[in-house]
Amino acid sequence: MSCAIVEKTLYLIQSNDPILKLQGAKDIRWLTKSSLRYRRHFNEAVKPLVDMLSNSESFEFIEAAFLALLNLSVKDEGNKKSIIDAGALEPIIGFLQSENASLKEHATASLLTLSASSVTKQILTSFGVIPLLVDILRRGSPRAMVDSIITLYNLSTSQGNLTLILQSDPIPCIVALLKSCKKSSKTARKCTALLESLMSYEECRQALTSEEGGILAIVEVLEIGSLQSREHAVGALLKMCQSDRCKYRLLILREGAIPGLLELTVKGTAKSKEKSQTLLRLLRDTTPSERSQLQPDTLENIVSNLISQIDGSKEQTGKARGLLAEVIQVSMDQRLRLLPQRPMGYMYSD
């Protein structure tokens, strides 16, 4: 890293000459694109960049300031705080409501980077960004929608923010985004993670079942999503069934969740294996008293009982039976590994 380059660029961005200032913003963008060291050395550039964002009328100037600030805030907690302290949130929120799609995308991306810090989450919330982000999910560009769902997930991990997200009626637009995105993508992972958290609320559970294909979208992630996405998907379904088994059991079964759950008991993460087995037990068609008696049942017996209830296509039932065979094989292999090894030379006696 060259100190001379840093000094020259700071001179440009702090200049009163608009052309020099614009060049400084562009240089900061490129210098900080992939360099943490440059980001640390351009903290002094934050205030003039925020001033450009607030006071410029030229799209070129505003975009240059946005992109420079965006790069400065990536993985740099100090710059994130400096950007907020310099008054960036007011213009960012203003552009979030702009009719210009590009400026709206830049504003959403800026909130995404700023929300990735425990220090800034409550500050963003206090500026009322949550309903605006949900609105982006409803009518934003594809790029802005992706950044919005990730930002909402980041904010949801801060105490009290889930309730604020709930108040903005987010389920229809989250489901719509989940349906349209690739099920193995980061977008699907953030959608299912947020849905898993929101399934703690009855309003959200009802909203999900009211959406055509809502549960099915989660089941599809359960089958073909990434390992983390599948863990969140089974967690969302499990919360529903635990909240009211009688109300949600058949809805989950009718969307063909059994094959995906079976596969997770074999190939899932440690958490998804445990959640899948718990959900499979809840999906059994038994009374509470019968369930208490059947608690020691093996997973194979539980799943056999479920497969006999599947009211689906031959293909679905066949897939479930094939996966059950795999579950049984894995279970047998695990039991064999637990058997004590006989010492060499052991002889049976008559």
The answer to whether position 269 is within a domain reads yes
The answer to whether position 3 is within a domain reads yes
The answer to whether position 291 is within a domain reads no
Q: What is the predicted pLDDT for the residue at 293?
A: 47
Average pLDDT estimate for 246-272: 90
**Residue 280 amino acid letter:** L
Mean residue pLDDT of the chain comes to 86
Average pLDDT estimate for 102-125: 94
The residue from 65, 87, 109 where one domain ends is 87
SS (H, E, C) 269-293: CHHHHHHHHHHHHHCCCCCHHHHHH
The answer to whether position 315 is within a domain reads no
Distance CA 97, CA 150 (A): 18
Q: Which residues, at least 6 apart from 145, have a Cβ–Cβ distance to it below 8 Å?
A: 136, 137, 177
Whether residues 193 and 302 share a domain: the answer is yes
The answer to whether position 341 is within a domain reads no
CATH number at residue 4: 1.25.10
More confident: 317 or 181: 181
Domain residue limits at 83: 1-87
The answer to whether position 136 is within a domain reads no
Biggest CA-to-CA distance, the chain: 103
Confidence band for 262, pLDDT divided at 50, 70 and 90? confident
pLDDT of 296 > 60? The answer is no
SS (H, E, C) 73-87: HCCCHHHHHHHHHCC
Measured in whole angstroms, the distance separating CA 325 from the mean position of its chain's CA atoms is: 33
CATH number at residue 252: 1.25.10.10
The answer to whether position 164 is within a domain reads no
Span 3-52, pLDDT tens digits? 889 899 999 999 999 999 999 999 999 999 888 888 989 999 999 999 99
- pTM for the structure as a whole: 0.83
More confident: 282 or 178: 178
Q: How many structural domains does the chain have? A: 2
Span 193-214, pLDDT tens digits? 999 999 999 999 999 999 999 9
pLDDT of 295 > 70? The answer is no
Confidence band for 263, pLDDT divided at 50, 70 and 90? confident
The residue from 22, 56, 87 where one domain ends is 87
Residue 244 — left, alpha, or beta (φ > 0 → left; ψ -120 to 50 → alpha)? beta
The answer to whether position 226 is within a domain reads yes
Confidence band for 339, pLDDT divided at 50, 70 and 90? very low
The residue from 56, 87, 118 where one domain ends is 87
CA distances, 273 to each of 189, 295, 301 (Å): 17, 17, 17
> Using an 8 Å Cβ cutoff, are 204 and 239 in contact?
no
